[in-house]
Chains A and B, each alone.
Chain A
Amino acid sequence: MTRALIKGPVGDAALPEVDMSTSLGGLALPAPILTASGCAASGRELDQFFDLTSIGAIVTKSIMLNPRSGRATPRMAETPSGMLNSIGLQGPGIDRFIEHDLAWLEERGARVIVSIAGGTVDEYGKLAARLRTVRSVAAIEVNISCPNVEDRGQVFACRAGSASDVVHAVRRHSDPRMPLFAKLSPDVTDIVEITDAVVRAGATGVSVINTVLGMVIDTDTMRPHLAGVTGGLSGPAIRPVAVRCIWQIRQAFPQLPIIGMGGVRSGKDALEFVLAGANAVSVGTAVFHDPSAPSRIQIELQRALGARGFRRFVDAVGFAHRPADLPREEDPDEFDFISE
């Protein structure tokens, strides 16, 4: 946090030369750090803290077909190394989003991944069709895992069949070349099974993980703290869950594009996701703590990669999966951890 308090390069030392470019199933990005959906609104508010074009892409807050008020307050509770939220997908609806938010992002020159959310399979299809006419969309993230819907049965990502139906509808209504990422919930027995279903339905890759369903009870009022009763847990508290999910999916799908997210707060955290198999890393709740976090983390990641001898970001993707008997070229003891 204290490293990037004034705009500009982090620290005094020159950045090591690392090619930070990455690829997400046909979508080439100059850098691997993204914002996480729901934690950056549509980017505009963060532009005063860092250059939006300096990171890989802005992933916008999940947009629905119609304007949506979201849920009653309180919508948030701080928890140990995390927070619980129950916003309920408040937003202006797709038309105003395209006119107002996407137009601004395009003008600003940021790369944009649009997150969409629907109440029905049909709604997802309509959203995809509506976005088909918009040039500035680099990829679509299909949010099938928001935990803050009235009917938990509506969390499409909790069952392979419903997850598949949604992705299929979005694929059918999208440009065939449009990269689609299904955002998955960790609240399932077997995330590999869900991944398999969405890939078969036409997803280019997956975004893992959405928040973990949680709950806080206020011990003074002795009632649930959130108006929505349950909420999504995010922040460093859930980071090991995210690393595990990325690891399992990478093991099962060696070539699948994966966007990793869930409690990343530093460059070293992002590196952990990359080593587990993420081709790009979204920064979410950390933004609430440090609004310049995405750009700071990207620079820290570049340093961390350089310090470990990587010349290209892509070489680190899934590196933790290498066979145990495969030696590194250098002895890890020689790495300069202090310089990070």
Chain B
Amino acid sequence: MNPTADSLRATFGDAIGRAAPARDGTTVVVVAAARLAEIMRWLKDTPGQRYDYLVDVTAVEYRDKERPLEVVYQLRALERRDNLRVKVELDPQGELAVDSVTSLWAGADWLEREVFDMFGVVFAGHPDLRRILMWETYAEGYPLRKDFPLRGRFSRAEQVRQALNLNPEANYSMEELSIAESFDELPADLRERLRRGERSKIPGSE
């Protein structure tokens, strides 16, 4: 087993849950969600640990409803060629929230957005937590959750209706328009629709 697990336990005590090697030999350490940011910073910056490379961030929900949802961080120490898998367990019925690690690894930006998009996990402190693979008006929920049916929540007819109701003129988000300070130059009707916030919801969906 990776000696980092013991060092973690010595430093953080109760915040470290079970630790065991997985089938691929990589040690999996479960840590308390409340102290994740602190633990990750320690793993990245402590001499002798130096997990400087974030390989992946993802989440796992089990078919067994009793089991917690896990947010999984694959870490790598490039110089020592060592891998570590850090997991945070969250209650799928409760609030899915965990600290963002974007301040440590810039690469976590899109990875955390994807986990948010697919599982609904909110990363506190993420600079720009928006949907990434699904579009911004997507209203069916979080596709990779186990309670999400394979064919989607809405019927094909409802999906077609929503697609036809989309506002294809709204090419840019409000954020993008305010960047360019070009909001005032838009046609009056589009400006009005954007002001009413129609960009972010589907017309006729309520």
Q: Decide if A and B are genuine partners.
A: no
Q: Which residues of A contact B (CB under 8 A)?
A: none
Q: Which residues of B contact A (CB under 8 A)?
A: none
